[in-house]
Structure 1
Amino acid sequence: MGNIENFEVLNIIDELENYIEKSSTIPLSQKVIINKEDILELIKQIRIKLPDEIKRAEWVKQEKQKILIEAKQDAETIIMEAEQRINNMVNESEIVKKAEKMAAEIISAAQTNAKEIRLGSKEYADELLGNLENNVENLLNLIKNNRNELKGH
Structure 2
Amino acid sequence: MSKIEQIITEIEEYIDNCKFQPLSTTKIVVNKDDIDELLAELRLRTPDEIKKYQKIIANKDAILNDAKERSEAMIAEATAHINQLVSEHEIMQKAYNEANQIIEQAQQQAQDILGNATNEANDLRTRAMQYTDDILANVQSILSTGMDSFEHAQSEMMTSLNSSLNVVVESRKELGGQDEEATDEQTDDDDITVDLL
Q: 1:125 aligns with which of 173, 185, 195?
A: 173
Using the size of structure 1 for normalisation, the TM-score is 0.53
- More relative contact order, 1 or 2 (CA 8 Å, 6+ apart): 2
1:73 — aligned with what?
121
- In structure 2, C-alpha distance between the alignment counterparts of 1:51 and 1:126, rounded to whole Å: 113
* Residues 93-113 of structure 1: CA deviation (Å, up to 9, x unaligned): 111110111011111111111
**Offset at residue 91 of structure 1 (A):** 1.1
Q: Percent identity?
A: 8
1:112 aligns with 2:167: no
- In structure 1, C-alpha distance between the alignment counterparts of 2:108 and 2:173, rounded to whole Å: 94
1:12 — aligned with what?
none
**Number of aligned pairs?**
92
Q: 2:145 aligns with which of 83, 92, 97?
A: 97
1:49 aligns with 2:92: no
Moved over 6 A (4+): none
- In structure 1, C-alpha distance between the alignment counterparts of 2:175 and 2:104, rounded to whole Å: 103
Using the size of structure 2 for normalisation, the TM-score is 0.42
Runs of 5+ consecutive residues of structure 1 not aligned to the other structure: 1-39, 134-153
* Residues 3-48 of structure 1: CA deviation (Å, up to 9, x unaligned): xxxxxxxxxxxxxxxxxxxxxxxxxxxxxxxxxxxxx99x653321
User: CA RMSD, aligned part only?
Assistant: 2.3
Question: Looking at CA atoms only, which structure, 1 or 2, has the larger radius of gyration?
Answer: 1
1:62 — aligned with what?
110
- In structure 2, C-alpha distance between the alignment counterparts of 1:127 and 1:55, rounded to whole Å: 108
